[in-house]
Every structure is written in structure tokens, then in C-alpha cells.
Structure 1
Amino acid sequence: MTKKNLLAVIISASILAGCGDDVKVTGDETGNLEQYLTELSSRNTSIDFTLLGSNAWVPPPSALLMDTNDGTLKLPTSGDDALSNPLAAMNTADGWSLSMPIALRFKGTGFTAGTSITSGITILKLSGKLTDSTPPSVTGAISSFVATTTSDSIVITFTQPLDPSSDYIFALTDGILDKNGDPIGTSQSYAGLKTSNTTYTEGSLASAQKVVKGVEQYMAGASIDTKSIIYSSWFSTHSLGSSLFATKSGYGSAIGQSNDLTKVWKGNAIESSVDSTNPFVLSFGATADFDDALQADTNFSQYVGTTGTQTSLAGLYTGSNNNTVNVTKGTVKLPHFLSKGSDWNTAPFEAAGPSLAKLINALSSSADATAISASLVSAGVDPSPLSTLATATSAEQFAFMQSLVGVNITLADGSRLDTERVPTRFTPFAKIRSMETVNFLLFTPTTIPANMPIVIYQHGITSAKENAYYFADKLARGGIGVIAIDLPLHGERSLDAVRSANASALAYINLSNIPVARDNLQQSTFDLLGLRASISLAYSVRNNSFTGTPLAGAANPLVSTSAPRIYGHSLGGIVGSSTAAFSNHQTGDTSTDTALNSLFAITSSAIANSGGQIGNLLMGSASFGPLIKHNLGLNSNDEYKAYVSSQCNLTSTSTSKEQGACYTQMAADGTYDKLETTLEASFLQFTYAVQTVIDGIDPINMTGLIDDKPFYLSQVEGDLTVPNMVSTAPLAGTKPIADQMSISPVNSSNTTPSDNTKVYVQFSSAGHSTAIFPQVSGFADQNHHNEMIRQVTDFLSDNKLDSVSNSPSVLQ
């Protein structure tokens, strides 16, 4: 991490670079403004928007801060393009955040902090971009936001995420008053673009002026007096799950072509030394009784418990439970897109083909167009779609992007098109760096009932698949099969003892390189998609039967009504939600969807102690927030570094809890209030960067894709790891997931779900992992655990919750 003001984006490196050098003007070249603009730009409190000079500033989000060549953000990095720089990390995003606030800074008198603004702000959604050949239409006004003030800013906080890959415009008027009751005003730079006296006909200012004029024209159509507008902007939002959908489609296409990944990931899209044969094949090992398997499993004591716990847990299974549950170990071979070398925490995904956006832009040169066509022919790709590519349908463009996987395109000057290979919606397929043989655990009843449901379980951060031993026998005795794998960098998938999330959560929550943190989440989802497909493949290759495997008699996974379910806890719930969303995502093409559904469909999801808006969730976590803040402060603030050295007695072996306690200690000491204020301001900026980068895979933005299938969500009151809610971020935590899906809570006041296929259960105070096993001293949360597992078993058995018990007082 670097010491930077993340939002102080200087305009000189954006679309307006070199303003004045390429400007042509018609009309009044003296800069004289209309009287109303002279007055509007002379107010005591005015928007901070400056195009030139040392104080240049364009408030994000803005189309002026996007790269028109590849559709990513283009924030100035002062020459530091390493992805450890959060600004450079943000430049890998293909749009602005779907869920983070818009903070607009003002100069001058300012505001009374905490004042609500109920008028003077208009946000509209457009059907397309302002630069489209056919002007877009307004598709709706956005009202799902609240606006408040700080001493020098207006902050617009969304209560519903914006739509992905969409275009929005907004405007503020002088109906908003400052702390003295005076109307706010505009800046000289904005007035210079807004004026009708001067028109920039060429150059960067012409582009900026067209944006301002275009936005204000739409505002006029919405009955906003344009003379009252003091600032406006246009911005495009981040795509949602573009790589998840592309990878799912690629897996499906490969499986449909003799299970050959090279049919999709052609040429250099797979690392040359990698053996990609036989992916997605479940290999079953020996089966043992639950008790024997548990006591023989050294991974349990290494990753999730002690040998004493192991013995005690085995003791709970004995007696009447003996020989009722089998455990089978096995493997499945899955594509791996992350690096495992020395750059494991600095190398994000690499796109497997050139950017479609860059290709379309390159076609404007006839020489490059000819060279591109030749490159495609040489690679065996039909170049005929090039002529209509820019206006092709999304499906046609996606098909062409898939044909570009593994293709290098040479331009007329001999250079290669798109050497950066940053995965975006315009190049969503990632390069396969290795194939990983992933171990799994399978829990099944000794006697498998007809059409037994199969549940894919995903564990939480710093844990491992072996924590399924704590509860999976209960699901199995309830007639459910459970299969579990480790998350990347967890358990047996740790790269070594240090490069492991079991050693430190920060190995996975990679604060030093946000794109890698994002891709850890994406890889985790790819793995579950691959595991899900492997279940269908195991069934179909045996003539639509699991005969001869430990799953013999289980439900048909090829049919959506009997397809596998997902159970995710904590981080596993985040990954599980993303998997469920894109497992069931439809293309609209019947034949394609039928084929994909047979491989990937998820019937229902049960998610425990998880949430959305991951950036704010982490910062609001009592468990992880202090650890994250400590590490950010240690790497970005000399005063905090000195405090740590003198006050905290930390060593290289200090635990995550001890590191977090250092920050908590500082924050509680009034002597350091100024330092805390400085640090917390920088954390807000860092969180903005984090959420911008990961918004495309965040569950809070995927509720619309989950909502059409049965869904169970649970929380514990006052969860210290995944907060129920975050007071400063209305979209962060567990409850906002339910709110976005309009699910009423089940609690002590309401023990009957209004819809037993869409359930949100609020348990009273217990542990974050009580859903897995009792956590509280003396097993005080045993009753909570029993009801949690009973509910999960009930729901996953038939995709609905048939009963809820509050005895004895386990509900909030």
C-alpha cells in the first residue's frame, strides 16, 4: 500500500490531459460568462471542480476519468502503476462502483455536518452512453439514496445498488443551502463548460463540454432548470460477474466438446507446460465410517481443531449413530487461474485474449483493420463479424470474444494489440495458469435414500473443508449428501505454511494488491462452478446414474428441480452466493441454457453468517476491521508506525488478534484522536478503492440473480466477524442481503416465514461459527447450534423451511 489520497485524482492525466494544447474555440474566446453564471460561480460555497492548475480536481465518478480505449477507469497514478497502488488497482475496473457513495467536495463556507438533503439532487438512468450514435433515452429516475453533509462535502449514499454495465447522470442545483442558509454555487471550470457564449470545437475541452451540455439537456427534459445546476456528471457502472459467466460458459463448452479445455482455451490461453486433460472428473477414494475417517484425518487437527477436539467430536458420533454416515475422500481436477509462484500475491488474472474494446477502436485505422483481419485468419478465426462488431448484440459480441481466446493480434506497425491483458467485460476469459488436483470430502448416509439431495459446502475464512466434520454427519443422517473442498490458499490448498490463509487471513484478503484479492474470490467461485459441473459429469458418463460410486442413488443433478444445493458459511457464503447467482444465470438462448443448466444449475442456497458490500463489511467487522486498519496504518502512516513500535510490543510472530488489538488500543486512547481521525479518513478512501475493484463479484449486487431460487439466510445477533449491519454503510453486512430481496425476518416476534422458500432467520446472540459447532464457553450456544443445523437440514432437504423453533429462546 502507498501513502496516497485515493480520491485526489488530478485531471491532468485523464481525458483532459494537455488542456489548452489542442483546443479550438468558437464564439466568445475571452471567457466572458452569462450574468447568471457569473453569479452562480461567485457563491460562498461552491463545488470543487477544477480543470487546470496544481489544485486540479474532478470528482469521481465521472466519464472524464475513464479510458475511452478499453473502457476501464483512468485515474492518475503519478507514474506508480504497480497494483499495490490503490489508484492503479482501481484502473483495472471496467466501470464505477455499483454500491459506494458519491462524495462531492465543496470549497468555501461549507455545511453543518450531518444535515440531510431532501431536494436539489437528481439522478437519472440512461439507456446507453451519451457518446452513442443514437442518443440514449432516460429509463428512470433513481430515488433509492440518501444525501447528507459533512463539513465540506455532500455525500450521496445508495440504499439499493445501481445496475451493472449501465449509464447514469446526476445533477445538483443551487436549491441546496450551505450552513449559513445561502445557495451553493458552481466553479469557474464548470461554468466555463456550461456557458453558451463559448463552444470548444476540438480537443479535450470539447469532449468535456459535450458531456456537460448533454447531461444538462437531459436534466432539462426532467423539468430541472438548467440555470440552477451547479454541477453534473455522467458515469458508467462496473460490470457484474463478467468473468464468472464467461468461465461458466467456457467450462460448459469444453465439457460439451469431449471435456477438452483446449477447445475453448486455445493456444497460449493455457500455460504451455500445463496438462489440461481430464478436468472436472470426480475420482473417488476409499469410503470409511464417519468415526474412523475423522480420527484418521490429520488435516482436522492441523487446520480446524485440536486432537482433543477430534477425539471429543468422534465421541459424539458413537452409540446409536455408529455406522450411519460414510466419509469418502477423493479428488477433482480444476483449472487454476491464479499464480502459485513467487508472485502469488501480486499477479492477478491475465486475460486470455485481447480486449474487444481495444480491437473495435483499432478498427478505425484502415491499416490496422487489414492487419487485424489477417491475424484472425491466421488464427483460424472468421473475420467477417468485424464490420458490424461495434453494433452487434451482446450475444454476438460474447461469441466473438470467445473466439479471440488464445489469439494474438498484430497491428499494422507490428505491435501486439492489448499487451496489458487486463480482464474486463470486454475480455472476460482468464488465462489458465495451472491445473489443480483438489481434494474433496464427501459425507453420505450409509444407506442412501432415493433421490438424495447433494449439497456443496464451502467453509469460511481461515478454516478448511475439514470443519464439515463438525456438522455434516447431521445433514447426512437427515438424508443429504455433503461434498466439500478447500478455498484457495486454505487447508491442503495452502501454498506452504506461510502462504496460507490458515496462517493469516490477509493471505486471502490481499490488502496489498486489491485485484489479487478480487481474483481470489473469483477463483473460489470458479472452483465451485467446476465442482458443480463435475457432479453432473460423474452422473452422465455413467449413463445417467451414480452407480458404482459413493453417490449411488443420489438425485439426478442434470434436472434443475433435483440439482445440487449450496451451503456456505461466512466467506463460504459470499462465494456460495456468487456461485448460485451465476450457476443459474440464463443467456436467453433455450438450447444454450438447457445445456448449461444440466451442468451448473443450483436448486437452492443456504447461507449462514455472511453478507455483502465486502469492503465496508470488512471495515465494520469487530474481528477483521482492527487487523485491516492496523496493517493499512502500519504501511501508510509514519506516526502510527511509530506508535506501534513504542506502544504495542508486536513481533514477527504476533497473531492477527494481537495486531488488531494494537489499533484498538490506539483508537481508545484520547491522546491519539487526531491520528485516528487521519487514519479513518484514509480508510474510507481505501475502502472506496477496494469496493470499486470487487463490486463486480459482490453478493449485494447479485441478489436479483439469486432471488428466483429458494434462499435461506441466517445471522447471529451482534456477530463480531460478519456484522449484521454497518451503521455508516446501509448496504454492508447480512441484513442488507435480505432487505434487497424483500425477505421479512424470522425472529422471536415472528416465528413463521411469510414464504418458506425465502427465509431470513435472526438468531439471538451466539458465536459467528455456532452454525458449524458450538463456540461459547460451556457450550452455552448448543441450543442455537442444534436449531441452526436443524433448519439448514430442513431447508436443504426440500428447498423450503417447514418449521422454526424458538425453544429455548434461540431467536433474536
Structure 2
Amino acid sequence: MKKMLLSLAITAALAGCGGGETLEDVKNDTPPVIPSATVKFDPANGVISVPNDLLMSGTKDGTINIPGELSANGVSVPRSAYANPSLALGALDGWSSQVPYKIDLTFPANVSLDESSAGAPGSVRIFEVVMGASLTDADCAAVPAGAGCKLLGELTFGVDFITKASGNAVAIIPLKPFKAGSSYINVLTTELKDSLGRSIEPSSTYGLVSEETPLITESQLALQGVVNSYENVVTSGGTISKDDIIFSGAMTIQSVGPVLGTIKKLLAASLQNPALPTPMVQIPEQPLLTVEQVFASQGVTGLSPAFAGVQYQKGSVTLPMYLSQPEGKEISNLADTYWQGMCSSPVAVLNQQAADQALREAGKEDEIDPTMFDVGPYEPLCQGLSEGRLHDYPKIDITRHLTKYNPIPKVQSQQEVTVQITKPILPVINFIRTQSLGMSALEMPAGGWPVVIMQHGITSKKEDMLALTASLAIQGFATASIDHPVHGERGIDVDDDGNDDFNASTGSVLAYMNLQSLLVARDNLRQSAADLLALRLGLNFTNDTSLNTSDVVFIGHSLGSVVAPAFVTQANTPLDSQVDGLFKVNSVALASGGGGIASFLLESASFGPFVQGSVLLSAGTSESAEFQAYRESSAVSNCGEAVSTSESISCGYGEYYTSLNAAGEMTKLANIQGVMSQFSFAAQTALDSGDPTNYASAIKALGTPVYMNVVVGDGEVNGNKPDQVIPPMTVNNPIAGSLPLANLMGLTTVTQSQAPTDNGMSYLVKFTKGHHSSVLTPAPNAAAGATAEGSAAATSEMQLQIATYLVTRGRALSIQNTEIVTD
């Protein structure tokens, strides 16, 4: 109000000017007025920077309201429509915890953002708050949803986040993930300046609604109430005044754990509830076969003789599948196979009840559909699994998005999955231990062999993990492995003709990491974690007494490392003392993993060009059409035929981008980067609940011992490069990549052997030699600059470190070849 009165006073003073000056004199003596730079904010006309909780206003089911989610007649769009990257955000109950974001500004001609102010402390401040309609804070439960309620604290610039200029916007870059399920208010202050040294001004809309002035329309009043609640909350701490604020906007971070946590509860409940099948690993009698013989059948020879001391078996386990089956053979047919809720969202139920009540109060009872609250077949389960909170009303909440309000996923099928089992063959293993390694002989423990669950990487298969079994057998471990969904023996054969139509191991990586439907990609990640939970439980009910299924550890490579934090977090989070031991994972080894999936995919030397090329092809911009035409021209003849293979797209994109650089097409390059930034924001937001970054702090808090290795390279020109698949660090996101994930999990970097401790410790080892798959193969890799000698040394050392770490359950670590590790 004071600002408005001030501007009125200036107007009055000018109008009252007298004396000898004429109006023309005033005009001539007055310097030209340059319009102010302002924050872009006009929600009524769709001008709003995201993330912003105003897009949660009026939510039908507790998810973000994205324009286009409802058809012209107000009906929800079909599930397949959420394949659109922007629309996919409408399936989420909040925003990303980790992706950088921008708040847009507008500038008059010849004026720009003062970059030094944009990157200085105080220009942007972020406050953690409790919002109205809180499920966890009784004081805020009755406050209207969407309104700020209570101040919890302020984030620290340079520790929790940084900011910088980004064109006509200020970019906010998290240095730590925001807390899942928590709410924050972003505040821009008068410390943010333009190139003339003037403070950026609020938009006219924000200036209007932030003042305590009478407004007319309901939408104005509602926006005024929300904005005032934001400013009242952040100023309640006394560190900022309303006069300092030029913009405030709330963002609620999406929930991460509730759905996978519910799956663990369902698995535990299956022990008592016959309606919920219990997974059980069954290993039938079979002829003796060694891993050496398996490799020989694949034409692989020249292996360590220890592989002759590893028994190979095949078992099975039946896993609940939450992914539905596609009806066609194109990648686009996977678009609506993502997870859905078993029950109706309670938010949707409340909205329907309110709508019916409004009709009653208006005397329009005849317009109420009496069948809306007819129950469906899942009503007993919804009621029983939610302590009476959830219902199955088939006509309410057709989309059934999974949220913190509605966390019970629907089981689409039960899938019998092959389990690969290996065990030590004592006579051979003991000969190697005593004659070659100078170790004492082994005996099988009274309770059986401890078990290592192993999980392979993307486009790989469980059989590739056999490369680790000799080192593990020497240390007295059995192993158990399954394929990721849509990999190996778990490909999808739509028409049952014996040939997989979708298989990331033998076909396109998009069958799993689906860029055409980000929700499918997210739920493949969640299905991988859910499968590991079910496998871990199922091991307890195996018919093989030679396995000690109460002593289980884990190894993941690449994608196996990416899904591990979600799996281990749920496995080791206490639930019930009677079942906790059935899920327990004692220690973990991760090879070549990383977090911030969207960021590391875009910057991956291996996958990045394919991802960026695929994104550009589907972006619908003029550059998209130009890129397609370029790929079909003779300019990319060295890329092979212009077909939609990953190699063709990758090579073509690299050639096209290089040609634009050479021609100085800066506008086109900027447009392409804009597309990638938009995709990164949408993709990371959609993938967040499956991203390991969001489980890292839980791993640290649980105290689960974790070992991780990362190839960082030797830093020499034309030398051994860093991991070319998952980069150790990314340029555009400081908390994406391998090293940030290790840091967030609390791992200590070591270069020397670590003496035994009473409790497990967590370590990171950085390798200067080797490549992404060195943990499995000593083969050189020209693209990574990894020589035969360096690769072989890395493989030997990595396997030694993993085996010695796991055999001590994380209490010690042996590092022998210190020449290929660095701090």
C-alpha cells in the first residue's frame, strides 16, 4: 500500500507544479523515462515461471494442473496423452527436488540483467515452509490448501543453492536436493538489478495483488490471498520485509518414497494375507553346470580357472508387475503402460463430494449422478490396505495417478522371472585359494553360503554379471540375479510369436529408458527397485538350504547402481521387527552409477548425442524439421542410412550440431539448447521418484555400508578419459553424475586399504584407469582411451575391492594397486 501511495503522491506533486515554468519546459528539462525491468508474472494470461504451486490450485486429484490435461468438455485426457513431456508433469504431486530452474524477467530495449547481482547472495532467497492442508502439521491442517502457513527456516546461499543470470532470467541451481514432500517459497528481492543499476520491479499483477487493496474478481482475491500468505510467512522470521520483495512463489517438492514404501508393506502383508501372493525363489534339481561352461557355450575362453569352481543354476520367482502390457509393437504403444493407482485419489473423492453438495444447495439434486460412488472390485483391498482411507470408485479419478495421497499401485500381472544362481564348488575354489592365493581353505558355513544379489546395467543382462562370480566364490559367496524389466529373458513379445518386440538388451534402449513417455521410464526404474525388493523377500522362501538368505549383500553395475539406492532404502527402512530381517541388505557395492538421470543422460558422451538427437527430432520446432532433412541428405552419408537407429541419430546429431557451429548459426544453437533445457526440466521432474539422488540422504541416515567406484580418468591429453556413459560430474547440474551421488550418500574418498572397523564404513574409490564396464571386463575401450593394460588392471582391482569389502560386510577394504586410484 505504501508503494501505491508513494506513486500517487509523485503524480500529485507534478500536477501541482507552478511558477514560471510551462509544461513544455518541464518536458525539455525531464530526461527520458526508461521503462522498468520486471518479473514475468501474470497467471491469468498463463505467464508464470515453473516450478510454482499456483499450478496446483484447484487440483482434481492432488497433482499439478498442467494446461491441456482436460479436454474441451472437461474430461481428463487419455493416459497415453501423458507421453507429452510437459503433460507428464500433470501426473505428479509436486516438483523436482534437484533440477535447476529459472524465474523469467522482462526488460525494455537496451536494458539487461546485471549478472553480478543475479549471482550475489540476497537477490534470491529460499524459505522452507509448511503449506496449508498439511498432512503432517496439525497447526496447518485447517489452513486452506495452497496458502503459506508456517516458516521452518531459510536455505543458505552457497551451501544449499546458488544463482546466476541466464539470459532474461535468474537461474536457481540446487547444491543439495530439496526435501521430498516439503514446500519452499522462492523470493526475489530488490537486490536483483538491471544493467542500469535499478532494482527489478514486480510485475503489475504481482504489485496489485501483493498490496492490501480492494480487488474485484474472485480470481484476483484468491491470488491476493495466496501471495499475501507467502509474504506473511517469509517475513514472520524478521529477516526480510515486504518492501524487499519483488516476487514470491511457492513450490512443493514431489513425494518420493510413499509408493515404493507401500510396495514393501504389500510384500510384507503377503505373509499374512492370502489375497497377496508371496514371492518365493524356487531352484529345481538340475545337472551340474559351471560358469566356465556357460562362458564356453558363448564362445568366451581364456578366463580365470576360478570360473570352473562356480556352479551355475537357474531358478524362478514370481514378481508382481505394476507395468501394464502394450497392445502394439511400436515404442509409442508403451506410452500408457506406466503405473496406476488401485484406488481413487481421496482428493478426487473430496472434490466430487463437494460438487454434489453444491448441486444440493442449489436445488439441483436431479443433476447428481447417484452411481458416482458405486464401488469397484478393488474396494475391499483399498479399504483394508489403507485403514479405511481409500476407496475404489471406478467413475472417480479415471487417471489414477500415484501420489502421496494415493500410494497403492495396481498389480497388472504376476510375472514368472528367471533367477540366475551361482555357488562356490569347494574343491576347485579351495585349490585356487590355497595353491594360488595363499589363503586358507573354505568350508560352507552352517547356515549356508551368504548371498550377493547382483543387478546388471542398461542394455545388458543378468548373464553379464557372471563375470564377478569367480571373485565372489573365492570369498565364499553365492549370487542371485534377475534381469531388469524389458531386458534379457524379460523382453515383451506382444503377439506371442516367439520374438521380443521390446527388449533393451537386444533392441532399442527406449524400451526401458523411454524418452517418448517419461512416466514409463520412471516406472521402469521403480519396477526395477520393486523387483529387487520382491526378490530379496523371495530368497527367504527358497527350497535351497545351501543359501543363507538371512545374510544378503548387493552389487549393482551402471543401471543396477542407479536403482540400488531406492531398493536399499526401502529394504533397510524399519517396518516391523518380525519382517525387517527378511528384507535386510547388509552392505552394498556400486560400480559406475550416478544420480540426476536426465542431466547425466544429456551430457553422457555415450548416450548424450542419441538422447539429444531424439529429443530434437520430436520437439516440433523448425530446427527439428531441419535436422530431419539434414539426416536424410548426403551431408551425413558417413553416418550410414538415415534410419531411426541409435547410431544414425547419434552420428547425425553430432554432424548437424557441428555444421551449425561452423556456420555461426547462434540463434539456431540457442533454440536447440532451449529445447534441451526444457526437456531436462520436464524429464528430471518426471523421473525424480525413481532417481537415486532422492534416496541418497536416506542411505546415509540408515548407516548402510556402501562402496562405490568411479572412473575419473588420468587427466592426461589423449589419456584415459572419465566414464563415458555416466559422467562423474555434469556441467549444467552440480548434483548430477557419479561423484555428487557418492557425496550425498556420505562416502569417504580413499586411496589406501582401510583397516577393519567395528561398524561398516562407506567408501568411494576413484580410478584413473579403465572404463564404464571395467568391473565386468578387462577389454580395452578406445572411445574411453582405456588401454588393454589399464583396463585389465582396473578390472582386477575393482573386483578385488568389491569382494574384500563385501566379505567384511563393509568393515574393511583392500586396495592393492594404488597406482590406478586417486583422490
| TM interval, short-chain normalised | 0.7 to 0.9
Deviation at 1:48, TM superposition (A): 0.7
Secondary structure of the structure 2 residue equivalent to 1:732: coil
**Match for 1:280: what amino acid?**
M
Offset from partner CA, 1:114-171 (integer Å, 9 cap, x none): 7522113221112343774257321221121001112311011111111111121121
The 5 A counterparts of 1:78-227 are 81=77, 82-108=81-107, 109-112=111-114, 116-129=119-132, 132-134=141-143, 136-143=149-156, 144-199=160-215, 203-223=218-238, 224-227=240-243
CA contact (8 A) 1:288 1:326 kept: yes
Residue aligning to 2:594 = 611
Residue aligning to 1:304 = none
Residue aligning to 1:431 = 410
CA contact (8 A) 1:333 1:435 kept: yes
**Match for 1:282: what amino acid?**
Q
**Mapped partners of 2:319, 2:683: distance in 1:** 28
Task: Tell whether 2:701 aligns with 1:711.
Answer: no
CA contact (8 A) 1:194 1:212 kept: yes
Secondary structure of the structure 2 residue equivalent to 1:426: coil
Residue aligning to 2:437 = none
Task: Tell whether 2:516 aligns with 1:531.
Answer: no
Deviation at 1:190, TM superposition (A): 0.6
**Mapped partners of 1:241, 1:784: distance in 2:** 35
**Mapped partners of 1:38, 1:613: distance in 2:** 52
Name the TM-score, length of structure 2 as normaliser: 0.80
**Match for 2:510: what amino acid?**
L
The 5 A counterparts of 1:659-698 are 659-669=649-659, 670-671=662-663, 672-698=665-691
* Aligned counterpart in structure 1 of residue 790 of structure 2, from 769, 780, 786: 780
Deviation at 1:375, TM superposition (A): 4.7
**Match for 2:502: what amino acid?**
R
Offset from partner CA, 1:279-318 (integer Å, 9 cap, x none): 4343435253424641476xxxxxxxxx43x2x1xx4243
Deviation at 1:651, TM superposition (A): 3.1
Offset from partner CA, 1:666-701 (integer Å, 9 cap, x none): 223322543332112101101100111111221111
Residue aligning to 2:435 = none
**Match for 2:557: what amino acid?**
H
CA contact (8 A) 1:356 1:426 kept: yes
Offset from partner CA, 1:83-120 (integer Å, 9 cap, x none): 23212111011101111123011101222557522113
* Aligned counterpart in structure 1 of residue 55 of structure 2, from 45, 51, 65: 65
CA contact (8 A) 1:573 1:608 kept: yes
**Mapped partners of 2:445, 2:725: distance in 1:** 37
Structure 1 or 2, whichever has the larger Rg, is: 2
Deviation at 1:379, TM superposition (A): 7.7
Offset from partner CA, 1:467-525 (integer Å, 9 cap, x none): 02222121112111111111111111112444111212122110111111111111111
Residue aligning to 1:51 = 43
**Mapped partners of 1:147, 1:376: distance in 2:** 50
**Mapped partners of 1:64, 1:654: distance in 2:** 39
The 5 A counterparts of 1:582-601 are 582-586=570-574, 592-601=575-584
**Mapped partners of 2:707, 2:684: distance in 1:** 25
List structure 1 segments (4+ residues) > 4 angstroms apart after TM superposition: 36-39, 78-81, 112-115, 365-383, 652-655, 750-756
Secondary structure of the structure 2 residue equivalent to 1:256: coil
Task: Tell whether 2:466 aligns with 1:469.
Answer: yes
**Mapped partners of 2:778, 2:735: distance in 1:** 29
CA 1:334–1:614 in structure 2 vs 1: closer, same or farther (change >3 Å)? Answer: same
CA 1:37–1:667 in structure 2 vs 1: closer, same or farther (change >3 Å)? Answer: farther
Secondary structure of the structure 2 residue equivalent to 1:555: strand
Residue aligning to 2:256 = 240
Residue aligning to 1:727 = 731
**Mapped partners of 2:311, 2:801: distance in 1:** 22
CA 1:467–1:195 in structure 2 vs 1: closer, same or farther (change >3 Å)? Answer: same
CA contact (8 A) 1:573 1:609 kept: yes
CA 1:648–1:213 in structure 2 vs 1: closer, same or farther (change >3 Å)? Answer: same
**Mapped partners of 2:51, 2:224: distance in 1:** 17
Over the matched positions of the two proteins, sequence identity in percent amounts to: 26
**Match for 1:584: what amino acid?**
N
CA 1:281–1:289 in structure 2 vs 1: closer, same or farther (change >3 Å)? Answer: closer
- Runs of at least 5 residues in structure 1 that lack an aligned partner in the other structure: 1-27, 262-276, 298-306, 386-395, 410-415, 539-547, 587-591
**Match for 1:214: what amino acid?**
S
Residue aligning to 2:647 = 657
**Match for 1:136: what amino acid?**
C
Residue aligning to 2:611 = 628
**Match for 2:233: what amino acid?**
Y
* Aligned counterpart in structure 2 of residue 794 of structure 1, from 800, 804, 818: 804
**Match for 1:68: what amino acid?**
T
* Aligned counterpart in structure 1 of residue 6 of structure 2, from 22, 35, 38: 35
Deviation at 1:772, TM superposition (A): 1.3
The answer to which of 668-677 and 646-655 deviates more is 646-655
Residue aligning to 2:454 = 457
* Aligned counterpart in structure 1 of residue 425 of structure 2, from 440, 443, 446: 446
The answer to which of 246-255 and 336-345 deviates more is 336-345
Secondary structure of the structure 2 residue equivalent to 1:117: coil
CA 1:363–1:103 in structure 2 vs 1: closer, same or farther (change >3 Å)? Answer: same
Secondary structure of the structure 2 residue equivalent to 1:198: coil
CA 1:641–1:377 in structure 2 vs 1: closer, same or farther (change >3 Å)? Answer: closer
CA 1:34–1:76 in structure 2 vs 1: closer, same or farther (change >3 Å)? Answer: farther
Residue aligning to 1:520 = 524
CA contact (8 A) 2:114 2:194 kept: yes
**Mapped partners of 2:9, 2:291: distance in 1:** 82
CA contact (8 A) 1:129 1:167 kept: no
CA 1:803–1:442 in structure 2 vs 1: closer, same or farther (change >3 Å)? Answer: same
Deviation at 1:653, TM superposition (A): 5.8
**Mapped partners of 1:63, 1:148: distance in 2:** 23
Residue aligning to 2:631 = 644
CA contact (8 A) 1:287 1:327 kept: no
**Mapped partners of 2:377, 2:462: distance in 1:** 46
CA 1:373–1:768 in structure 2 vs 1: closer, same or farther (change >3 Å)? Answer: same
Residue aligning to 1:485 = 482
**Mapped partners of 1:753, 1:378: distance in 2:** 55
Residue aligning to 1:11 = none
Deviation at 1:380, TM superposition (A): 7.0
Secondary structure of the structure 2 residue equivalent to 1:83: helix
CA 1:694–1:793 in structure 2 vs 1: closer, same or farther (change >3 Å)? Answer: same
Deviation at 1:426, TM superposition (A): 1.9
Name the TM-score, length of structure 1 as normaliser: 0.81
**Mapped partners of 2:454, 2:189: distance in 1:** 51
Secondary structure of the structure 2 residue equivalent to 1:408: coil
- Runs of at least 5 residues in structure 2 that lack an aligned partner in the other structure: 11-32, 72-76, 134-139, 427-443, 493-498, 713-721, 781-786
**Mapped partners of 2:527, 2:710: distance in 1:** 26
Deviation at 1:52, TM superposition (A): 4.0
CA 1:779–1:765 in structure 2 vs 1: closer, same or farther (change >3 Å)? Answer: closer
**Match for 1:449: what amino acid?**
P
Residue aligning to 1:578 = 566
CA contact (8 A) 1:289 1:323 kept: no
